[in-house]
């Protein structure tokens, strides 16, 4: 044993609160080391404390470096620490330290491990203990990595949620309040916009209430694999780990990859000219991935569009979808007209941002504001950073509250569900009686540009389900957006919107416009309002449930059935269809009946008003003079005209 006087530097380190709770706090280490030195008769020269720093290789510990410098200058010749792992947990670092101590005639003494390096045995034991310590670290690291990998595969992404996503029950899920911004960024870039052009556009529009969008922000979004459902852990390390399909994607893998290829082109001068009708709406029938799109242009100038899955080697023509979709096209375009004129103003914000979602998001933003305030009080933010963050959140709250106000206003608009039914009745009659004017004013599917067709599909279609029959891809069904379908279904169930149904009239097969039960007084009001424009007739018919056939005394004088509806609520009266017959009301128009207003435009731009209740309704065909109200929605209450 070397009898040289031990001039000690007491080294203390903590890295986490957990170590402090286990008895490794700096004051406790200091007390125990002082007692140890007093017992050993060591002279304490100085104290060296590294707080909140791990002993991993590469971590800079300023106090430990100061201790080594004091050893070099001979101020200290012995390091005293509580445990070996307070010094290091790496065999490599340990051997370097041993060499350093030998070169400077210095030693190490550990209280709990009962070792010192003043002898060969002490050095050997220290090496054994260090091996055990490093093995435990590596095993813990392996367990951590396995656990982290499992969590990531379940959607638990250990990062701040990027724009378009949010954390819900620790999982990263799509944030539908900002998802469309991401879709738009990819779509704009895909169609030739540069980073700068997109950021300028967003600044002009003040997207999310911000006017500081940068091209670097757009680039970061476009390069983030999370938007195609994948995640890279340790992206900036030498050995990153790639995880596929860990979250729900916002864009298809093909579109994401196309946008990476696009970076190689001059996006300022490049403008994509092809429009895919069903992009983002189709998933592979085998693996469920969002399909990509491509097109070929033949020598004759015709362009043919295809959708494909690289992984499953599936490819099919767009015509497969078009052929199936054609049965919905006329109904969809007609419905879109009604939505824009009536339905949209009535329930506009309920489509994409229902009241409950808006209120929930407002509460989330208010909670976020409180967290920012607490962080500022606790010294996490400087005043400038706090003000910037606060303004962003406050702007978001104001925008959400404005949307909520609009939702409240939309619920109080003058248009009623009966207006929708009435308008559709009038449109049907206009198509028969004023066909030329109707065609001039009505935009059909073939009149839409391809871009407009794509926008209409994007607006109403949520997903098109595909299936494989042998090697052929066929459409299983079209899922329209629930936000559109649900309120529409509610209107249909309540009798305020019609649908087309096949029907047998005696021995004649045809299609009819059918609506559900309404009370007689409401039916009467609609007929009364219709007779302002057309001298419609009313009849009743018997429907034989078992034969599914209509039999009624209806003159074959080139009259046209406008709409058929049940006179009783048979869904409630006869849920199991045990009754033999149902009674239906029929609104019809005769060949000789003409539009009764002087201005033809009134047939398309106005609907009869319900405000006149002075006329008694009868089922006889009698024109009723009542006011009208405009079809086009405007913010101000429209004045009625006679």
- 45 and 100 together in one domain: yes
DSSP designation for 369: H
Helix axes of 215-223 and 179-190: crossing angle, nearest 10 degrees: 100
- pLDDT at residue 482, rounded to an integer: 65
- pLDDT at residue 565, rounded to an integer: 95
- Of 268-282, 371-385, 443-457, 563-577, minimum mean pLDDT range: 268-282
Most confident range (mean pLDDT) of 133-137, 192-196, 621-625 is 192-196
- 26 and 93 together in one domain: yes
Q: How confident is the model at residue 455 (pLDDT cuts 50, 70, 90)?
A: confident
d(CA 112, CA 542) in angstroms, rounded, equals 98
Which among 486, 466, 491 has a CA at the least distance from the CA of 476?
466
Say how many residues make up the chain.
642
- 202 and 260 together in one domain: yes
- 513 touches 498 (CB < 8 A): yes
- Of residues 147 and 200, more confidence is placed in 200
- 52 and 171 together in one domain: no
- Of 17-21, 509-513, 516-520, 537-541, minimum mean pLDDT range: 17-21
- 11 and 126 together in one domain: yes
Q: Is residue 473 in some structural domain? A: no
Cα–chain center distance at 598? 50
Q: How confident is the model at residue 72 (pLDDT cuts 50, 70, 90)?
A: very high
Q: How many domains does the chain have?
A: 2
Q: Is residue 618 in some structural domain? A: no
Residues assigned a catalytic role: 15
The two beta strands, 581-589 and 537-544, are: antiparallel
Average pLDDT, the chain: 77
For 627-631, the CB contacts below 8 A with 24+ separation are 628/532, 628/602, 629/414, 630/605, 630/606, 631/341, 631/342, 631/423, 631/604, 631/605, 631/606, 631/607
- 140 and 50 together in one domain: yes
Q: How confident is the model at residue 265 (pLDDT cuts 50, 70, 90)?
A: low
- 136 and 176 together in one domain: no
- 132 and 202 together in one domain: no
> Would you say residue 10 has pLDDT above 70?
yes
- pLDDT at residue 267, rounded to an integer: 46
> Would you say residue 543 has pLDDT above 90?
no
For 572-580, the CB contacts below 8 A with 24+ separation are 577/545, 579/545, 580/544, 580/545, 580/546
- pLDDT at residue 547, rounded to an integer: 81
d(CA 525, CA 255) in angstroms, rounded, equals 52
Question: What is the DSSP code string of 108-133?
Answer: EEETTTTEESSSHHHHHHHHHHHHHH
User: Tens digits of per-residue pLDDT, 459-497?
Assistant: 777 788 899 988 899 888 888 766 566 677 788 889 988
Determine the structural domain holding residue 129 and report its residue range: 7-151
Q: How many alpha carbons fall within 13 Å on the CB side of residue 193?
A: 18
d(CA 407, CA 420) in angstroms, rounded, equals 19
Domain boundary among 151, 186, 205: 151
- pLDDT at residue 415, rounded to an integer: 64
- 73 and 207 together in one domain: no
- 16 and 121 together in one domain: yes
- 142 and 223 together in one domain: no
Q: How confident is the model at residue 587 (pLDDT cuts 50, 70, 90)?
A: very high
- 221 touches 250 (CB < 8 A): no
- pLDDT at residue 614, rounded to an integer: 40
> Would you say residue 156 has pLDDT above 80?
no
d(CA 131, CA 108) in angstroms, rounded, equals 17
> Would you say residue 14 has pLDDT above 50?
yes
CATH number at residue 39: 3.40.50.1390
d(CA 102, CA 80) in angstroms, rounded, equals 16
- 147 and 183 together in one domain: no
- Of 63-67, 250-254, 311-315, minimum mean pLDDT range: 250-254
- pLDDT at residue 519, rounded to an integer: 93
Q: Can you name the residues that pair with 463 across neighbouring β-strands?
A: 479
- pLDDT at residue 582, rounded to an integer: 92
> Would you say residue 308 has pLDDT above 80?
yes
Q: Is residue 260 in some structural domain? A: yes
């Amino acid at each position: 044993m070397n009898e040289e006087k031990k001039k000690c530097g007491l080294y203390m380190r903590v890295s986490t609160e957990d170590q402090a709770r286990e008895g490794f706090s700096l004051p406790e280490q200091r007390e125990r080391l002082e007692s140890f030195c007093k017992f050993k008769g060591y002279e304490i020269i100085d104290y060296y404390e590294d707080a909140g720093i791990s002993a991993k290789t590469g971590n800079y510990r300023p106090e430990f470096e100061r201790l080594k410098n004091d050893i070099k200058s001979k101020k200290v010749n012995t390091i005293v620490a509580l445990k070996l792992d307070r010094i290091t947990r790496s065999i490599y670092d340990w051997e370097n330290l041993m060499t350093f101590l030998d070169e400077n005639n210095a030693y190490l003494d550990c209280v709990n491990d009962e070792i010192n390096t003043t002898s060969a045995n002490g050095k050997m034991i220290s090496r054994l203990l260090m091996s055990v310590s490093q093995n435990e670290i590596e095993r813990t690291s392996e367990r951590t990595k396995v656990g982290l990998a499992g969590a990531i595969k379940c959607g638990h992404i250990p990062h701040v949620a990027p724009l378009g996503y949010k954390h819900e029950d620790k999982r990263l899920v799509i944030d539908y309040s900002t998802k469309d911004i991401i879709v738009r960024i990819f779509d704009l870039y895909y169609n030739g916009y540069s980073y700068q052009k997109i950021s300028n556009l967003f600044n002009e529009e003040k997207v999310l209430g911000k006017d500081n969008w940068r091209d670097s922000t757009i680039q970061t979004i476009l390069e983030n694999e999370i938007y195609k459902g994948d995640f890279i852990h340790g992206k900036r390390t030498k050995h990153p780990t790639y995880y596929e399909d860990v979250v729900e994607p916002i864009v298809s893998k093909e579109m994401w990859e196309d946008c990476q290829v696009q970076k190689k082109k001059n996006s300022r001068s490049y403008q994509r000219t092809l429009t895919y009708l069903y992009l983002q709406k189709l998933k592979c029938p085998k693996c469920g991935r969002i399909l990509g799109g491509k097109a070929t242009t033949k020598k004759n100038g015709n362009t043919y569009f295809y959708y494909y899955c690289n992984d499953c080697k599936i490819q099919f023509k767009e015509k497969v979808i078009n052929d199936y979709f054609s049965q919905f096209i006329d109904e969809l375009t007609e419905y879109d007209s009604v939505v824009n004129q009536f339905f949209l103003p009535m329930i506009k914000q309920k489509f994409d941002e229902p009241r409950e979602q808006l209120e929930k998001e407002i509460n989330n933003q208010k909670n976020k504001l409180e967290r920012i305030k607490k962080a500022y009080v606790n010294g996490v933010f400087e005043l400038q950073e706090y003000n910037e963050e606060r303004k962003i959140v406050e702007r978001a709250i104001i925008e959400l509250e404005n949307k909520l106000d609009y939702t409240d206003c939309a619920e109080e608009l003058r248009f009623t569900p009966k207006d929708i039914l009435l308008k559709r009745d009038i449109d049907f009659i206009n198509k028969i009686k004023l066909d030329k004017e109707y065609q001039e004013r009505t935009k059909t599917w073939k009149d839409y540009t391809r871009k407009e067709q794509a926008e209409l599909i994007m607006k109403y279609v949520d997903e098109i389900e595909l299936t494989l029959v042998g090697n052929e891809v066929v459409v299983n069904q079209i899922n329209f957006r629930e936000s559109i379908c649900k309120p529409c279904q509610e209107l249909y169930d309540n009798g305020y919107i019609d649908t087309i149904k096949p029907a047998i009239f005696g021995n004649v097969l045809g299609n009819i416009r059918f609506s559900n039960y309404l009370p007689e007084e409401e039916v009467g009001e609609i007929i009364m309002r219709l007779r302002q424009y057309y001298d419609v007739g009313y009849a009743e018919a018997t429907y034989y449930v078992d034969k599914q056939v209509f039999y009624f005394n209806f003159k074959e004088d080139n009259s046209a059935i406008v709409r058929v509806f049940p006179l009783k609520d048979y869904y409630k009266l006869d849920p199991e269809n045990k009754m033999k017959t149902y009674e239906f009301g029929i609104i019809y128009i005769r060949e000789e009946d003409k539009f009764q207003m002087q201005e033809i435009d009134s047939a398309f731009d106005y609907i009869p008003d319900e405000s006149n209740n002075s006329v008694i309704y009868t089922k006889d065909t009698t024109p009723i003079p009542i006011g009208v109200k405009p079809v086009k929605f405007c913010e101000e209450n429209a004045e009625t005209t006679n």
